Structure 1
Amino acid sequence: MTAGLYGCSGSAPGTRPGASTATSPHGEGVSPFTGLPAEPAPVLAVKIDNVPPARPPTGLDAADLVYVEQVEAGQTRLLAVYASQRPRTVGPVRSARESDLELLRQFGRPALAYSGEQSALRPLIDAAPLFPLTPGDAPGAYFRDRDRPAPHNLYVRPERALAAAPEATKAKDIGFRFGPAPAGGRPVNEHTVRYPAARFTFTWSEGDRRWNVAMDGTPTRTADGDRVAPRTVVVQNVDVHPSRFRDRGGSVTPYTETVGSGTALVLRDGRGHEARWSRPSADGGTTFTTPAGQPLAFAPGQVWVVLKGR
């Protein structure tokens, strides 16, 4: 597979300025999640803690795709999706939320690694098209790091977790397109997304051609010291409303709607592009288009989707 199929940051040969150059991710040997060369592999989603006591994360830089979701008390958690790579360890792993079930339906029937759930949510998880992998479902896949404080010390071994879900769906088209950047956009050096009790800042690194991530003002590095730096960041404006669930402290769990349509900001190659997103049904993927209705291409590489209440 040649690199030119998915393009770089310049215009494709023979393409007029402003024309859509987004390509389909159906090419053999190319990941539909990143637009990079990859062999077909089952999808493993991992719910990752990201409050200060849980940092630094492990294995986050190896994810194809990272979603940021709001949880109780205005905090956030990450849902990292793996297919192209399987790091030895990922975590810290935390509990699932109802919003995860709708979000993951576009992946077919993936495996979901998480620490547990409240009892009222388990019937919904069992009915969802996914393979739930808690420590009780795949005990050999998890371990606790005794050098870190509980509950921020549970980790999963992806290879062992997927062994407990041999029929997990392989990576498939979820609506993303990769290729040269669209015309226009505005220069962006830094962009911050704020939640009631958390904030994410994405700073463009021209030398690395990536967006360096900072959480609550601190640069995000993995346990190995590597910067977490996606090629594309999507700030997806969604409806967030109270669910019927509460956490142990009595705080209402927010529900994030990812089926529907709305606006988004796509950050790639040091520019911000206004976009529209559309996901008509839970079983279908999410498409991103320019204001003119053309597919909006992402830069090949890791993608972050920041789900922000509108």
Structure 2
Amino acid sequence: MDEPTRAGRPAYGPTTRRVLLRTALAVGTGGALAACGAGGDGEDDASPFTGQRRKGDHVLAVKVDNVAPARPQTGLEHADIVYTEEVEAGLSRILAVFASDVPAAVGPVRSARESDIELLRQFGEPALAFSGVQGKLLPTLEASPLHLLPPGELPDGYKRDPGRRPPHNLYLEARRAEQAADDASEPRDIGFRFGAAPKGGRATSRQTVRYPAARFGFTWSADRRRWLVAMDGSPARSRGDGRLAPATVVIQYVDLRQSRFHDSSGSNTPYTVTVGSGDALVLRDGKAYEARWSRPSANGGTTFTEAEGGRRLPFARGQVWVALVKKD
């Protein structure tokens, strides 16, 4: 579905047009959520994304490939938050959010989707790096408050790996992208809370997330105090940096509907609905907690509460993976 060019030129609108559109939209987006308590235990200066001390200056989101030829990926271990979502033909795609620890490179980078706009609105006006976009989606993406960083806008911020075959060989020079997006939003409260594990939960050593044509496995490592990630049954590793291992995994059950768009083979692009409410399962410290999620509007964050009692459910400090899965 990646379409990096259109009519022989980059398929992205002029920078000035996007700046004007973002300025107009920003007037009505409202103020940022208060960050008080985002780190948990009164640590107001902690990252609202990980609960750890380092916060970062700007939010950079990157669309990352995760089919077999794209593995192992580069840079995912540095992400504050990793979202997984369903795309065409039942496959999955990753949206990685960076702020506190921006690595030298991230990738392979792939194309944007319409539902990325809704998902990322809770971060304010973050930067979004992606390889291309379907032509019919382009006006919607340009009219969003996101700071778009495709290759056409950042030609010196991408490189190809000659050792891999396209389209699985495009990598973002992430620090260069962060510099180019110096007007992107700083990290703010998106609803996460961090702290000691709550009472209850059920002991579990592993959990599987299934998409129609992809799956993720999460296995608890008591030694590392982390969930070891597998993709389609194989250990998920970062290029040169070992096994991917978040501190918290959130399985968020959402509505999926057909969008207005299709890929080149005719498969419809599913739209992942992240505004609303529903059930969730939170994995931390070797336990699974039944939860509820709520996000009343696109401009606001997503809160997670215990299914019984409605108390805010704190995450373990560190990287968070959020698997957006179609509810039954």
Q: TM-score, normalised by structure 1?
A: 0.91
Check 1:28–1:277 CA distance in 2 against 1; reply closer, same or farther (3 A cut): closer
Residues 1:82 and 2:98 aligned together: yes
In the other structure, the counterpart of 1:36 is 52
Q: Of 247, 253, 269, which aligns to 2:263?
A: 247
In the other structure, the counterpart of 1:304 is 321
3-state DSSP of counterpart to 2:105: coil
Please list, as runs of the form range in 1=range in 2, the aligned pairs for 1:90-239 lying within 5 A after superposition: 90-239=106-255
CA distance in 1, matches of 2:159, 2:187: 27
In the other structure, the counterpart of 1:24 is 38
Q: Of 257, 265, 275, which aligns to 2:273?
A: 257
In the other structure, the counterpart of 1:46 is 62
In the other structure, the counterpart of 1:11 is none
State the Cα deviation string for residues 18-75 of structure 1 (Å, max 9, x = none).
Answer: xxxx953384541100000114410000000000000000000000000001000000
State the Cα deviation string for residues 171-205 of structure 1 (Å, max 9, x = none).
Answer: 00000000011110001100001110001000000
Q: Of 300, 307, 316, which aligns to 1:284?
A: 300
What is the one-letter code of the residue matched to 2:107? G
- Consecutive unaligned residues in structure 2, runs of 5 or more: 1-35
CA distance in 2, matches of 1:132, 1:96: 10
State the Cα deviation string for residues 132-165 of structure 1 (Å, max 9, x = none).
Answer: 1000011110000011010000000111112222
Q: Retained in 1: the 8 A contact 2:55–2:187?
A: no
Q: Of 295, 299, 307, which aligns to 2:312?
A: 295
Q: Retained in 2: the 8 A contact 1:174–1:285?
A: yes
The number of residue pairs the alignment matches comes to 289
In the other structure, the counterpart of 1:5 is none
CA distance in 2, matches of 1:37, 1:163: 22
Shift of 1:225: 4.2
- Consecutive unaligned residues in structure 1, runs of 5 or more: 1-21
Shift of 1:229: 0.3
CA distance in 2, matches of 1:39, 1:59: 18
Q: Retained in 2: the 8 A contact 1:56–1:221?
A: yes
CA distance in 2, matches of 1:24, 1:283: 17
3-state DSSP of counterpart to 1:140: helix
Stretches of 4+ moved more than 6 A in 1?
A: none
CA distance in 2, matches of 1:24, 1:86: 21
Q: Retained in 2: the 8 A contact 1:23–1:179?
A: no
What is the one-letter code of the residue matched to 1:194? R
In the other structure, the counterpart of 1:3 is none
In the other structure, the counterpart of 1:73 is 89
Shift of 1:235: 0.2
Shift of 1:248: 1.3
Shift of 1:166: 1.6
What is the one-letter code of the residue matched to 2:294? S
Q: Retained in 2: the 8 A contact 1:104–1:110?
A: yes
3-state DSSP of counterpart to 2:57: coil
Q: What RMSD in Å do the two structures reach over aligned CA positions?
A: 1.2
Q: In terms of mean alpha carbon deviation, does 90-99 or 220-229 score higher? A: 220-229
Shift of 1:168: 0.3
Q: Retained in 1: the 8 A contact 2:48–2:55?
A: no
Check 1:260–1:135 CA distance in 2 against 1; reply closer, same or farther (3 A cut): same
- Could you tell me the percent identity over the aligned residues? 61
3-state DSSP of counterpart to 1:239: strand
Q: Retained in 2: the 8 A contact 1:29–1:40?
A: no
3-state DSSP of counterpart to 1:53: helix
